[in-house]
Amino acid sequence: SPRLAARSALLRSLEPNSPPRLLNAEHMALIGQLEAAGTTPTTEDFLQLGLQGRWALCATIRNAGLLEPGMSPAHAAASGAGGAAGGLLPIGIARAETALSIGNSTVRSRAWFQLLDGERKQVGALLDVESRFAFESDSVTGARLLALRPARPPRLALKTNDLGCSIDALVEALHAQLSPEFALVEGEQYDRLRLSTTYLDESLWVARAAPHCCSVFYRADDEMAWLSGVQ
């Protein structure tokens, strides 16, 4: 079927065991096919059942609109579709995951990454963001949205006392490569986030957030289901 073909192509392209990446135009075309052909849970009970558990971030993009059909690659590149402007601190994100606990109404998002300290030595670090969520209805479509608010200040664990850059520069570089729930901070621009589930099956989750964010997750605690989808 068109849905299964698009799903398999997307999973092969995103390589589940790789670090999270930025979505490109090819990915967005496949996501569009999935969203058009798939079925999305419309009730809170089905969303709770489907979203419960750990999800690994596979890929994300800050401005998906620049990668939709009809947008030229040159325009997308010039407009910074990925949200990663030139001059950002070079960091390497090894893994990022988001865990939803329906019983506690909490979302915990963690990203493990490496950076060079002030002595140019590679060190490991962790960004840990915890949110609380509730289900809301979209005022236009009536779809159920996952509304997130910060539960506590984000935690940044660094294995160095010589960071070699400002905390602001580090956080900016992280947010440019991570899905928007990692940017939830009280009193700031992302103090509230609404995620719209546009595709969901047993191991694949596509979530969009206003204005143009799009993220793809795979179920971290069900690798066999993921592998079966690419065969």
Residue pLDDT, tens place only, 124-147 = 899 999 999 999 988 777 778 999
> Is residue 5 very low, low, confident or very high in pLDDT (cuts 50, 70, 90)?
very high
Cα separation, 230 vs 214, in Å, equals 22
Average pLDDT over residues 196-205: 93
Residue with tokens 């995951």: 97
CA distances from 79 to 63, 75, 84, 119 (A): 9, 6, 10, 34
| Bridge partners, residue 135, by sequence | 146
Q: Which amino acid is at 17?
A: N
In the three-class reduction of DSSP (H, G, I as helix; E, B as strand; rest coil), residue 64 is classed as helix
| pLDDT tens-digit map of 70-129 | 544 444 444 445 444 445 567 889 999 999 999 899 999 999 998 877 777 888 899 999
Cα separation, 165 vs 53, in Å, equals 35
From the list 92, 122, 131, 95, the residue with the least C-alpha distance to 111 is 95
Residue 229, pLDDT score: 43
From the list 117, 126, 124, the residue with the least C-alpha distance to 96 is 126
CA distances from 35 to 12, 28, 90, 230 (A): 18, 10, 33, 18
The alpha carbon dihedral of 114, 156, 184, 173 has a sign of: negative
pTM for the model stands at 0.84
Residue 216, pLDDT score: 97
Work out the mean pLDDT of the chain and round it to a whole number.
82
| pLDDT tens-digit map of 150-182 | 999 999 998 877 777 788 888 888 999 999 999
Residue with tokens 């392209």: 13
Residue 89, pLDDT score: 66
153: number of Cβ within 10 Å: 10
In the three-class reduction of DSSP (H, G, I as helix; E, B as strand; rest coil), residue 75 is classed as helix
Kindly give, in sequence order, each residue whose CB lies less than 8 Å from that of residue 142, ignoring residues fewer than 6 positions away.
none
How many Cα atoms are found within 13 Å in the side-chain-facing hemisphere of 88? Answer: 17
Kindly give the pairing relationship between strand 155-158 and strand 144-150. Answer: unpaired
